[in-house]
Amino acid sequence: MTLIAQSLGSGPGWSSAVMTCSAGPADPRLEEQHAGVSIAVVLEGSFGYRNHCGMSILVPGAILLGNPGDCYECGHQHSRGDRCLAFHFEPAVQEAVVAALPGARPLRFKQAAFAPRQCGAGLLPHADQVVENPQQIEAFAFQLLETVMSRHADCRGLVSASNAARARNTRCVQELVHWLMSNYQQPLSLTTLAQHVALSPAHLLREFKRITGTTPHQFMLAQRMRQAAQRLRDGDESVLQIALDAGFGDISEFNRRFRRELGTTPSGFRTSPNQPCKPAAGAVVAGA
């Protein structure tokens, strides 16, 4: 049996990896233990997962759940191999997410897994996209954790946040928007932004999107593109220098995003800055 872990990203209190297992029916089941809060989206294959909550057969789209310290075992009785997008969270991160949800909620999972589509039909395509574009892994990690905890507690029908809480959240988001307009070029993670306004990452992500219609990452990208376009139009600096100053890690990323969102290259925009800009065919401007 071979288990290969490909790290996709990590931050304070969380980590993620694509786990590829080649075990088959002839391989023995081994008892293991969850070190932290474990949540994994099954991408390919199928396998059996057993913990103190019971036995589940996991297929693509299912979500494996694990509590810190719980023992478990996995097996492939009828098939070989699987591939999962796995996340591990420290209990304090889970607690912060739960605290931001309305109503009292138990923290420990009472079931081994969620069935496919139980957390939404768009989960699996979103997970596939994140594997291909790990730049969005942090946002996905906290969205998934919040979705799982909400579903686990069956929060449907509970009273929404109070008016006072919503007013505070609105103020926090407005303050962050103004701050980002001057600091968009910095390499800011979702966790860092959440700490800046004293919210949990999942809470910030939800409230920022509710109030602005976009995510913090997408907002920063829009500011970077706007400032880069202004400098391309008004000055004669090199495209490379403008890209780096705007916060892009390399020129190829900048060129790709610029063409995707404005429908032309940076050089083409500089030559004809007054032409109406259109997204490239098939582009999703609000995407990452």
DSSP secondary structure letters along 153-169 = HT-TTS----HHHHHHH
CATH architecture of 218-271: Orthogonal Bundle (1.10)
**Burial of residue 49, with CB atoms counted within 10 A of its CB: 0-12 exposed, 13-18 middle, 19 or more buried:** buried
Nearest residue to 270 (alpha-carbon basis) of 225, 231, 227: 231
Across-strand partners of 17?
A: 7, 86
Nearest residue to 40 (alpha-carbon basis) of 3, 80, 95, 77: 3
**Alpha-carbon distances, residue 169 vs 77, 142, 182, 211 (angstroms):** 49, 17, 21, 9
198 close to 176: Cβ distance less than 8 angstroms: no
CATH architecture of 3-153: Sandwich (2.60)
Residue ranges per domain, the chain? 3-153, 163-213, 218-271
Give the model's pLDDT for residue 163.
Answer: 67
pLDDT tens per residue across all 288 residues of the chain: 689 999 999 999 999 999 999 999 899 888 999 999 999 999 988 898 999 988 888 888 889 999 999 999 999 887 788 999 999 999 999 999 988 877 656 789 989 999 887 877 678 888 998 999 898 899 999 999 999 998 887 533 333 456 677 778 888 888 898 898 889 889 899 999 999 998 999 999 988 888 877 889 888 888 888 788 888 888 888 999 999 999 998 899 899 988 888 788 898 888 875 554 444 443 333 333
Report the distance separating Cα 103 and Cα 119, nearest Å: 19
CATH architecture of 163-213: Orthogonal Bundle (1.10)
Could you tell me the two tokens for 230?
């202004």
Three-class HEC string of 232-276:
HHHCCCCHHHHHHHHCCCCHHHHHHHHHHHHCCCHHHHHHCCCCC
**Common-topology check for domains 3-153 and 163-213:** no
- Strands 82-89 and 14-21: what pairing? antiparallel
Report the distance separating Cα 89 and Cα 39, nearest Å: 8
Could you tell me the two tokens for 232?
């391309």
Give the model's pLDDT for residue 241.
Answer: 92
Output DSSP code: residue 116.
T
Across-strand partners of 63?
A: 41, 114
Give the model's pLDDT for residue 281.
Answer: 40
Nearest residue to 9 (alpha-carbon basis) of 210, 191, 228, 258: 191
CB-facing half-sphere around the CA of 208: CA atoms within 13 A: 26
120 close to 56: Cβ distance less than 8 angstroms: no
Lookup result for tokens 């500011």: 223
Could you tell me the two tokens for 216?
């913090």
CA geometry: angle 159, 143, 111, nearest 5 deg: 75
Q: Would the pTM of this model clear 0.75, i.e. be above it?
A: no
Q: Is 114 left (phi over 0), alpha (psi -120 to 50) or beta?
A: beta
Could you tell me the two tokens for 98?
């739960």
